[in-house]
Structures are given as C-alpha cells and as structure tokens.
Amino acid sequence: MRKNVLIIGASGGIGSAVAKQLAGESYQLILHYNQNKQAMYANRDKLHEESILMEVQADLSQDDGINRLISQIVFPVDAIIFAGGTAHYGLFQDTEETQMDMMLTLHVKAPWLITQQLLPSMIQRKQGRIILITSVWGETGAANEVVYSSVKGAQNSFVKALAKESAASGIAVNAVSPGFIDTKMNQGLLQEEKEKIISDIPANRPGTPEDVAHTVAFLMSEHADYIHGEIIHVSGGWRS
C-alpha cells in the first residue's frame, strides 16, 4: 500500500528534491507551500500526476496559516517531512521582536502543532515517520544568525525528546542536519564568501538538495526502522 507523505516547504530547493525523490519511490505526496507558486508548477512537471494527492498553501509563520494547513488535510498521513523555513541574518541586538516571533512560530510552533495533530493517527496505526530538516547551526551556532541557530537547536531537541516518547508506538522521529547546501538560502553570499566556506569543507564542494533528499529517503525506508532520535549530518564533514 502506498504511503502518504506531507512535505512542509515543498516549493524550496530541498523540499522539491525530497518530493522528486519520494515520488520516484512510489510515495503519495501532500505538498505544502507558501508563496512560490512557480516552484509548485515546476514540481508538477517533474512528478507523475498520480504522485500528488493535494497541494496546500499556508503561511506557517502565522497561527492562522498553521490552522489553515491542518484543517485542509483530508488524507491520512503516514509521514511528515519538515523542509520549510527561512534564515534570518543580522546582529542579535538589532533583531526586532516581531522577527523573533515569526521565526519561533515558523520553525518551532508550526512543527509542534502539525505533529500534535497528526501523531495520534500514526500511533493508532503503529507506524509513522517524522523528519525535520534542521541545520548544523542548531548545534554549533553561527554569528549573525543567532535566532536561526536558536530555533534550529530547538528543532533538534524536539526530535530527540519526541523520539523517546513515540518510539514504542512505531513512530521514528529523526532529523537531517545539512551543512552548506547550494540553495536559494545561500545565494545572498558573495562569491569569495562561498569560496571560503567551500575551502573549509573536507568534501571540497557544497552539498546539493539531492544529497539531503537521499538521506531523507533512507530514513523513510524500512532499513531505518531502528534509527530513532538521531541528528544525521549531511555536511561533507564540515563542522564550522
């Protein structure tokens, strides 16, 4: 029986790669996006039409958007992949409280509430997967990205704690922690900044969204049944 996967942030670089990877492995997808309709059109072109159960637009940085998403899901969900989000750059002392609230809601509260809503049915079926795409900054921290590092650290703690609570019910909760990935999030860096980062990566290249998607696909498979509460690094050995 084909399993239904909710992908949060399916219009982003990593989310799109995950959608393509899982569609190729016969999963059925519920695709969430916020603003990037063009990317969703591109997803449709890449995926077989029968792989897409539905698309849901919602701004998960707002409580109304979280409730909108939850209310529109009409299919049973066997797995949730949280691949959405946004970074915030700037000195911590210059960060507005409204920006802090937005980042907390998007990266922490939204995963909490969405998981809380969908977890009971997974427990009832004694199977499920919950995977968060976090960041190396959630463990090491980054200057000028204090708020982003903080919320990604919260995601890692959520994964570790929920895994202990739900493993006995057949639910595997894990995270994939990317390093420097070649996505739109890093396009604002100057070329010399990118070159400096790449020079510090033992694998000597940036990661790709497909590198992350392959790891997600493994965690979705039966080969990962005994993996619970892990933060799996996809970083080319980079620990800046």
Instruction: Report the catalytic residues.
Output: 148
CB 34 within 8 Å of CB 77: no
CB 51 within 8 Å of CB 31: no
CB 17 within 8 Å of CB 84: no
**Residue 35 per-residue DSSP state:** S
The DSSP secondary structure of 47-82, one letter per residue, reads S-GGGEEEEEE--TTSHHHHHHHHHH--S--SEEEE
Nearest CA-CA partner of 139 in 14, 239, 219: 239
CB 206 within 8 Å of CB 182: yes
Tokens 């290249």, residue?
205
